Chain A
Amino acid sequence: MTVKKGQPALPVDFNLPRQVTELKGRDDETYLQFTTHMVTFYEQTYGEHSRFFMALRDAKLIGSKCDKCGNVMVPAATWHCPNCNFAEMHEVELPHHGVLAQTAPITIFPSASFIGDAPFARGYVDVATDAPVASFLMARLRTTTGLERPGIFVKGTKLKLVFEDEREGSIRDMFFVPMSELPEKLQKKQPLFASELDFASPAPPAVKSDAAKAKLKDAAVASMKRLAADVEKSRRAQADLSNRTYVLGIKTGGGDFTLRVANARLAVEDGLPAKADFTLVADDPRVFSDWVNDGSLTDAAVEGSLWLPSKEAFQVLPALDRLPRSTRRDLKDKK
């Protein structure tokens, strides 16, 4: 999880007890390992980059421009043009919009420092589009339509620069959203702030109902009910669900149902709940029968066939994904 301002730079739970433990080698001999760390704290100088980050604090985007070749660097990584014998570059203010230079990857399995932030997208944005030669700006990419997922951030997508309301002088002070998600008056607003957009309550996608999907929904619900019954008999599956309590409303093209996790058990009910923690949408109900057959809700969310409103909703999926395997292992062991 990205560390918030004022919190310890190294989160307190990011630690290991000091100990020496035994482990077996391939030769069946005993070997030792000890817990240790390699942590260095920094007061990292921004140096020549300071101007760029001070501009971000002022909700401005600046670059460095070479008068000789017209090269624009944004962020201003240097103030002396590498193409022109290090000729002096001067500061230019850049527009708050750009074009995505390449289809962006979406990170699902982040590094240790960013666990909890996934899924997230980042990519390279062409902002100095008038310059003959220009660097791209690396940035977070966000959407107001739910989770970042394939199909939103493709090459050529027009993007709008958005600033966080509270800025400290970090590359995370800003991000881009697809221009098409903004009402016209916000498209032109400069600077635009995150609080002017609604990320908290994305509109769920519409589903197309038909009789074929209704059958598929009934089949999916039946297989999930079997899974729920197996969880009753599986210690591994109960461990997967322990200390988790939530209600998921699920809308599909074949009808709605509810998944309830409580007391280390899974329950499947028809219809939407009165109050859901999260409402998930899948036009094709087979997303859920595939899950029970050793598929993965995470994969469905990542592909976009399962729509989620938020990253918090994404965090409930890994435990659910473990259930088919856990129950199979326990029930097979018993047989």
Chain B
Amino acid sequence: MRKVGIVGAGITDCRGRWVEATYWDLFQQATRRACEDAKMSTSEIDSVVYGIYNDIFEHQAIPESTLTGLIGMANKPGTRVTSGGATGFYAMRTAFMEVASGTSDVVLCVGGEKATDCFDPRSKTATPMVIDTIAKSWDPFFEYPLGATASDSYMQICMAYNDNHPGDIGDPEVRAKIVEILCHAGNRNPFAQRRDETVTAEQVMSSRWIIAPFLRLLEVCMYTEGAGAIIFASEKKAKEISERTGQPIIWVKGVGAANESYSPGRGGNYKRLHNIDSDRIAAERAYKNAGITAKDVQIVELHDAFVAQLMVTMGELGFVPLGKTRNLIDEGIMVDPKTLKDNQAPPKGKLLVNPSGGLIFGGHFVGGSNMFSTWSCRREMINRKVPLGMIHGTGAINAVFGGAMILELDGGAS
């Protein structure tokens, strides 16, 4: 396998709705910015991987077909990846493999979503229809007819975790404090959807229930329209581009993925309800692949659909013990970016978690959310000279898809 580096990244502004652009233009914007960042034209790119989660959102089957020519990928190989919330991760894994295998030298990985054109005629608002579109991720025989939503799906895993580990993610104050830190992170991200908002822990705890007694409105991720692009290159090509741009290469040091069974159950290969095993297995594989442990990572950009799930995922990724994920706050492990200078690395034993603002304050354009995370992780690693960072993606019903990628700053911390 060849060494693979990230040499360029670009994202659009994250918005609740773009009336000024369709997904055609959003994908073009992200591609254009990534090319500008890598100081290259599309002629240098060998192939493209598209991350697009849901045809119903884009309102077109094979939505990538309309994009091909518009983003300068005509007459090149193109693969579309769709894996629920983990679409972005799996698209990047595909792009990584394409370079690592020697099939291509430079691969563009671009993902995004136009989610909120969906509209519910009875409530005269978008949200119930957006929820319905995502709810189509359940099977049509057994689960969808019961009315399950995406929130139910992730929350029932959190509630099951809470059954086994009471007093951890069930403490609303801990969750509210995490939201406050994420808000501070979002304030520093010029592309974040909620960059101008101030949300306090008190506001979180008095916001409306989405699912009682566990999920309040201000603990939930957003729906975002936007796109993000990452350029992956072989070692030789990466060095050439890095010389041109003057930006250090971010190496993909390790990749791990795991998808659990759809059916929950007891024993065997059934999905365990009280854990996110896919997160744990993916992370273990990524650490092993990279030859590191969780202790070596100082920045993590993880898929935070809900704050309670962020906590469980942080446990599964090995940053805090399961059952004691509240240590993120109690022991100050999750550092508030407000307390750091923009070029300052987190102190030893502390972690920057979602310095982009994550999916709750930054942006969540599903097919490209993990590219958004990668864009941010790379930015922070370069600015703060942090040697190792981690990207995490999760998706599908009951959070059964998991992926993790370890990034390394060229030349380390020196």
Q: Hey, which bits of chain A sit against chain B, CB under 8 A?
A: 2, 13-16, 23-27, 29, 31, 33, 35-36, 38, 42, 44, 46, 49, 69, 71, 73, 75, 77, 82-83, 101-115, 117, 120, 122-124, 126, 132-136, 138-140, 149-150, 154-155, 170-172, 296, 298-299, 302-304
Contact = CB atoms under 8 A, between A and B. Distances in A.
A172 B269 CA distance: 27
B129 interface: yes
B263 A155 contact: no
Name the residue among B20, B135, B263 with the largest chain A CB count within 10 angstroms: B263
Contacts of B132: 111-113
B369 interface: no
Contact of B131 (A36, A44, A109): A109
Contacts of A26: 20
Contacts of B143: 138, 171
Contacts of A103: 159-160, 162-163
Contacts of A134: 265-267, 270
Given A105-B152, A122-B147, A172-B146, A303 B209 contact: yes
Given A13-B122, A77-B263, A115-B123, A171 B146 contact: yes
5 contacts: A36-B59, A38-B56, A112-B122, A115-B122, A135-B264
Interface in B119-162: 119-123, 127-129, 131-132, 134-135, 140-143, 145-149, 151-152, 155-156, 159-160, 162
B56 A110 contact: no
B20 A138 contact: no
Contacts of A25: 19-20
A101 B267 contact: no
A122 B148 contact: yes
A24 B149 CA distance: 32
Contact of B121 (A16, A27, A117, A170): A16
B104 to A, nearest CB: 34
B211 A111 contact: no
A93 B343 CA distance: 64
Nearest to B217: A109
A105 B153 CA distance: 9
Contacts of B142: 49, 75, 77, 138, 171
Nearest to B265: A135
A132 B267 contact: yes
Given A27-B20, A38-B56, A114-B147, A136 B266 contact: yes
Contact of B20 (A31, A75, A136, A172): A31
Interface string B208-228: 111111100000000000000
Contacts of B149: 107, 109-111
| Residue of B129, B145, B266 with most partner-chain A CB within 10 A | B266
B274 interface: yes
Contacts of B160: 101-103, 155
Nearest to A27: B20
B289 to A, nearest CB: 27
A185 to B, nearest CB: 29
A303 to B, nearest CB: 5
A13 B121 CA distance: 8
Top 10 nearest A-B pairs (CB, nearest first) are: A102-B160, A111-B132, A135-B265, A133-B268, A133-B267, A114-B147, A112-B128, A111-B131, A25-B20, A112-B132
Contact of B268 (A2, A46, A69, A123): A69
A192 to B, nearest CB: 20
Nearest to A69: B268
A99 B164 CA distance: 16
Nearest to A175: B146
Interface string B163-182: 10000000000000000000
Contacts of B264: 101, 124, 135-136
A172 B270 contact: no
Contact of A31 (B19, B210, B211): B19
Contacts of B263: 73, 77, 135-136
B252 interface: no
Nearest to A123: B156
Given A135-B265, A138-B142, A110 B121 contact: no
B265 A111 contact: no
B226 to A, nearest CB: 14
Nearest to B131: A111
Given A107-B151, A172-B145, 7 more contacts: A109-B128, A109-B151, A112-B120, A115-B123, A136-B263, A155-B163, A298-B208
A108 B212 contact: yes
Contact of B155 (A13, A105, A136, A171): A105
A108 B211 contact: yes
Interface in B97-128: 117, 119-123, 127-128
Q: Which of A26, A27, A35 has the most CB of B within 10 A?
A: A26
A299 B216 CA distance: 10
B276 to A, nearest CB: 13
